[in-house]
């Protein structure tokens, strides 16, 4: 008998990994039902699922995605009652009567009949058919292998469904109530490519802490070794490009990386090396925090390096997260207001392709506002400023948090929202500590 699982209508943590685990553990098909999600959000969920599993996915909305990603098929319902013109793949449909089953059988690969039992996920949605009605439908050939039972279905009830002649069962609530040991044991892998901070507050060290705190597995590639502490950076030694390349390949060839976070890119050669690896491995998510300006306002990169990053690295990113100074450098003019940030985010996205999050922590006033431009929409994230000098590593932490939350299945706006909430808690917790004699770090384990 066919076992089908339908996703919850909202996105959940680690959803892509949970879908893969279901498919690895006896589920035949997963139906992606996200009635309120945009096409881009559903596409990102599909992109975060390895290609080998996509032929076992069915979409309930945004049917063009089935062709785009070579999915198993599409599902028709009251929201989308007709298949796209010219569609030749598998088609399933929701039915709520035996008459609908008879009507749609000729045009569908399989049909859902519901509710067979009292629903687990919908209050008041009770079984519609008696045992006698189901037995009669089986004998008349209405219920057969083409018909899938839906509504209150659990694994324990599959033997009953088989007796009634169903070709399988579809589960919604029951499938998501508990996690298997494998799901609990396999966090998403996030690769951070950045410089090392020997004092532990920023760079690779901050990335690893943030990724781990948010339930990811952190792998790392070091681009530069810095000599720094809470008082400042004294020296930076770039890692040879062949070593950076070898580190990336060692991780990507072995681990199933869900997202890549990029921080310090020391020079043009390293930028080209990273870009070459991104083109080869094509990770689902790439979050780039373009570290270009020091805390004191000095450029950390040459003009040549910035040009290389613009031309080769930015177009490969899912999201870039410049602060006000870095956004000013990238767009070539001073940004001193929220509307100016929004216009710059639009322009940078239009020029280079990725979504853009401009961080407004350097704006004057008691509130701070970050601006996200993604998929043609603008989002503002407003918070009260926290009076503390312990802000070392905030940019690294935020971008790593976003990469991790994207890997957990959150949409980009939601990942940014949750990452912002996390970094706010981390700053508040860090403000109570006295680590070092200068600008101390945030506290990641909140």
Domain ranges of the chain: 2-181, 187-430
DSSP one-letter string for 135-194: HHHHHTTSSSTTEEEESS--GGGHHHHHHTT-SEEEESHHHHSS--HHHHH-PPEEEEEE
Q: What pLDDT score was predicted for residue 47?
A: 94
Over range 199-218, report the average pLDDT: 94
The Cα-based distances of 373 to 286, 355, 401 in angstroms read 16, 6, 18
Q: Stretch 326-343: mean pLDDT, rounded?
A: 92
Helix/strand/coil percentages in the chain, nearest 5: 40, 25, 40
221 forms beta bridges with 193
User: How sure is the predictor about 300, in pLDDT bands with cuts at 50, 70 and 90?
Assistant: confident
Residue 182: the pLDDT is 45
Give the number of other Cβ atoms within 10 Å of residue 33's Cβ: 18
404 pLDDT higher than 60: yes
Kindly report the CATH class assigned to 187-430: alpha beta
Least confident of 56-65, 173-182, 409-418: 173-182
Domain 2-181 superfamily per CATH: Aldolase class I (3.20.20.70)
Q: Which among 256, 321, 311 has a CA at the least distance from the CA of 286?
A: 321
Query: What is the pairing mode between strands 232-238 and 217-229?
Result: antiparallel
User: In angstroms, rounded to a whole number, what is the distance separating the alpha carbons of residues 369 and 206?
Assistant: 23
| Amino acid 331: pLDDT | 92
What is the reported pLDDT for 443?
Answer: 93
Is 180 a residue whose pLDDT tops 80? Answer: no
Per-residue confidence (pLDDT) for residue 177, from 0 to 100: 66
Distance CA 348, CA 317 (A): 12
Alpha carbon 327 to its chain centroid, in Å, reads 24
CA dihedral over 99, 103, 106, 109, signed as positive or negative: negative
């Amino acid at each position: 008998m066919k076992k089908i699982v339908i996703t919850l209508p909202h996105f959940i943590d680690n959803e892509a990994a949970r879908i893969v685990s279901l498919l690895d553990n006896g589920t035949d098909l997963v139906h992606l039902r996200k009635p309120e999600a945009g096409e881009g959000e559903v596409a990102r969920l599909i992109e975060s699922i390895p290609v080998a599993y996509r032929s076992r996915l069915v979409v309930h909305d945004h049917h063009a995605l089935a062709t785009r990603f070579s999915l198993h098929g599409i599902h028709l319902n009251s929201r989308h009652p007709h298949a796209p013109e010219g569609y030749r793949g598998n088609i399933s449909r929701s039915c709520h009567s035996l008459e609908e089953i008879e009507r749609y059988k000729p045009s569908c690969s399989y049909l859902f009949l519901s509710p067979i039992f009292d629903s687990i996920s919908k209050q008041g949605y009770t079984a519609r058919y008696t045992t006698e009605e189901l037995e009669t439908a089986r004998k008349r050939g209405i219920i057969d292998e083409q018909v899938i039972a839906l509504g209150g279905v659990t694994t324990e009830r599959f033997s009953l469904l088989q007796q009634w002649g169903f070709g399988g069962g579809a589960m919604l609530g029951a499938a998501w109530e508990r996690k298997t040991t494998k799901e609990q044991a396999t966090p998403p892998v996030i690769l951070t490519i950045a410089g090392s901070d020997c004092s532990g507050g920023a760079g690779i060290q901050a990335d690893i802490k943030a990724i781990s705190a948010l339930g990811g597995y952190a792998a790392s590639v070091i681009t530069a070794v810095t000599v720094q502490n809470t008082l400042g950076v004294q020296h930076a030694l770039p890692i040879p490009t062949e070593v950076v390349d070898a580190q990336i390949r060692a991780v990507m060839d072995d681990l199933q990386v869900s997202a890549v976070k990029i921080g310090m890119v020391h020079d043009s050669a390293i930028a080209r090396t990273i870009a070459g690896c991104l083109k080869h491995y094509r990770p689902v998510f790439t979050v780039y925090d373009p570290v270009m300006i020091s805390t004191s306002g000095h450029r950390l990169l040459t003009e040549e390096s910035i040009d290389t990053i613009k031309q080769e690295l930015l177009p490969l990113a899912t999201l870039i997260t410049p602060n006000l100074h870095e956004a000013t450098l990238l767009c070539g003019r001073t940004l001193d207001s929220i509307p100016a940030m929004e216009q710059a985010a639009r322009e940078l996205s239009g020029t280079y392709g990725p979504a853009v999050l401009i961080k407004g922590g350097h704006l004057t006033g008691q509130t701070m506002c970050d601006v996200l431009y993604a998929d043609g929409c603008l989002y503002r994230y407003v918070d009260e400023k926290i009076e503390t000098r312990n802000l070392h590593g905030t940019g690294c932490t935020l971008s790593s948090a976003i990469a991790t939350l994207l890997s957990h299945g959150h949409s980009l706006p939601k990942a940014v929202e949750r990452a912002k909430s996390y970094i706010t808690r981390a700053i508040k917790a860090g403000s109570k500590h006295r680590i070092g004699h200068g600008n101390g770090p945030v506290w990641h384990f909140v």
